Amino acid sequence: MQLLIIANSARMLAQAALNCQFTALVIDCYGDQDTRQLACAFKQVNSLKIKELAAACLFFKQHYAVQYCIYGSGFESEPESLFFLQTHFQLLGNNAETFALLHNKRHFFQSLCQLQIRHPAVCFTPPKGKGWLIKPQQAQGGQGIFHYHPQHVHTADYYQRYQAGQAMSVLFLANKQHCQIIGFNQQGIRCIHNQPFVFKNIIGSMRLSKTVQQTLKNWLEKLTAFYKLQGLNSLDFILAGTDCYALEINPRPPASCQLYQANLLALHHQACLGNLEKPLSIQSVSAYQIVYAPMTLQLKSGLILPDYCADIPVTGAIIRTGQPICSMIVKGKDVQSVINDLRLKEHFIFSTVRKHNDYGIQSKR
């Protein structure tokens, strides 16, 4: 099957396509080494705006028998591009209408209330007092989220009451009527350029109480039927003791897909056709972490990163402070050993790239 993959960074989906013996035709914005190697054919674009995508999509439509188009990260800020894709290809996943509706925060939180799903309080005008977050309506990876200060002038799409607890997500398959949970994940954040909630890592195969699992299963069944969700999705939530607070749905294959079995894309395909299959159980703990540049880097030739690295930039790429160098995927026997391993491996990557740094001009990355 020839599968057109479009994302801000498409390496994860290209790898998943290869694991399922699909032919990966790729459009993305980074053009990392491993993405290019995984793709049967590749086009790099400057952004996911329609004017950037049109020519690349036309190329694949003219030269390949594209059966499906699957989208990944990056369309949160370009939802109109999904409507463009939907008119030219058969989307493998949620349709553009569902995607747009889930990013309409007024509608989403109203639906949570209607479905009796607990969530932190939200408002769409500046609240009184502290203890609130400023959140953008169309964003990803924690970008643009700040603590609200009443004395400052802010521009925000909406405000959400800060809820203490552990940031979590649940990865699931849906077929418009029912859902199948794949796994529960713990999320980590870090502060970059004064943005305190930027995505750092995600650790899979977390064990939750049966009470919490049942609560989340009930929520997902309601949301699947209400929004007619299909394929791979994830729900972000805060876990505070035995209480859960829903935050948002990612209506596309999320980063946590990398933490589970290799045939998830095949299960995604089947779920979009209405067939829900139970994934194999996972025993080990896996983690995915982004490695952000501690300084501005220009990578010289000869740089070889370890096998646990992915999303590897091409030689000569210029990476500014706080932007991704690469990512890591590691496995371990428990959460703490995985966290320790990530820390050691990140230090090794920093040491390696410093030796291959031709620091120079500003980055386009």
pLDDT in tens, the chain (365 residues): 999 999 999 999 999 999 999 999 999 999 999 999 999 999 999 999 999 999 999 999 999 999 899 999 999 989 999 999 999 999 999 999 999 999 999 999 999 999 999 999 999 999 988 899 999 887 778 888 999 988 776 666 899 999 999 999 999 999 999 999 999 999 999 998 888 999 999 999 999 999 999 999 999 999 999 999 999 999 999 999 999 999 999 999 999 999 998 789 999 999 999 999 887 777 689 999 999 999 899 888 888 899 999 999 998 888 999 999 999 999 999 999 999 999 999 999 999 998 888 764 333 33
pLDDT the model gives residue 154: 67
In terms of CATH, what superfamily is 102-272?
A: ATP-grasp fold, B domain (3.30.470.20)
pTM for the whole structure: 0.94
Residues of the chain with CATH 3.40.50.20: 2-92
Query: In terms of Cα–Cα distance, which of 25, 34, 83 is closest to 57?
Result: 25
* Class in CATH terms, 2-92: alpha beta
| Residue 210, helix vs strand vs coil | helix
Residues of the chain with CATH 3.30.470.20: 102-272
Query: In terms of Cα–Cα distance, which of 226, 229, 225 is closest to 94?
Result: 229
pLDDT the model gives residue 284: 85
Task: Give the C-alpha separation, 109 to 112, whole Å.
Answer: 5
Task: Give the C-alpha separation, 323 to 344, whole Å.
Answer: 20
pLDDT the model gives residue 140: 79
pLDDT the model gives residue 359: 65
